[in-house]
Amino acid sequence: MKDKSAINLRKSMGRGSIEHESRVSEHEGDIMTLAKKDVTTVPPTISIIEAAEVMVDHKFRRLPITDPGSEKLLGIVTAMDILNFLGGGSKFKIMEEKYDDNFLAAINESIREIMTRDVISLTNKDSITDCIDLMLKYNVGAIPIVDDNEKIVGIITERDFALAMAGVLTDELVKDFMTEKVITTTPGTPIEGASKIMVRNSLRRIPVVGKTKEDSALYTEKELLEGIITSNDVLQFLGDSKLFSKMKSTSGLEVLDTKITEIMEDNVVTVDPLTRVGDLCKILEEKDIGGVPVVKNGELLGIVTEKDILNAIHKS
């Protein structure tokens, strides 16, 4: 990212796009003007289901794990880690091998079992430029910030950058930053299948499409957007206490066989490819979402997310 981008970002925050402290200690980097300083953390002994409930209740996508005594950062767990564990990826082996597919026992395992231990972090002396470079290099959506004693003093997310850019990036258009090769799924997909798609492709959301024949002599098919499913939708479903009371067995398959139509969002917010990125940021803020499909004349053309906005900032 060019140095002028960091300067422009600080100026944009000063215009009031979001509220931040205006005074920064001379010993702190400018990253602390954008970071959230009131960070919710959990100890490594908390159960997986308890962590999921915290994330759902607060609409978090990740939770830093800290030592309850020293308050030092030990790890981080994300919605994707939990999806991975519950059937989406390699961590599902823990459930199969250690708990013999006993879903109820597995979700009461401590969060240390699936947390990421080698956490990419920043210090409170680092810069906005350092942060964006790290996020893009390691493809992470959030970075904890620690002090000299390794205690967590803040956290910075892609969303923080997106909100800072609301109404600011007026020259950049969605079409220039969206992902065009969209991985989609269909309404009949079970939650397990959707989770695997997300985990294997590092996706937080998947458009749900159905195919219909166009009214033409060629009968060509066009994908129509029917909904969208996110990692948080799955997490909310798995964190629902009512779900467990309805289970007839302890098997995770019973839960994960549920069709995504039961939990997907069917009232989908979309944007046109000519939407300005600054206006897109406003939409994400107003709708409290992290990404939207790009649609024109009813056809799905792409998807644009907070990660793409970070790339727009980097290239501006």
Which domains are assigned to the chain?
A: 3-164 (3.10.580.10), 174-308 (3.10.580.10)
C-alpha–C-alpha distance, residues 11 and 156, integer Å = 18
pTM value is 0.82
Residue 142, strand partner residues: 157
| pLDDT per position as a tens digit, 29-84 | 789 999 999 999 999 999 998 998 899 888 899 999 999 999 999 999 999 998 88
Task: Quickly state the pLDDT bin for 25 (edges 50, 70, 90).
Answer: very low
Specify the 3-state DSSP secondary structure of 124: coil
Q: Which of 131-135, 269-273, 297-301 has the lowest mean pLDDT?
A: 297-301
Task: Quickly state the pLDDT bin for 245 (edges 50, 70, 90).
Answer: low
Please report which helix (H) or strand (E) contains residue 268, including its range. none
Specify the 3-state DSSP secondary structure of 180: coil
* Burial degree of 246 (CB within 10 A; 0-12, 13-18, 19+): exposed
pLDDT at 241: 54
Distances (CA, A) of 54 to 62, 95, 174, 177, 234: 10, 21, 33, 33, 14
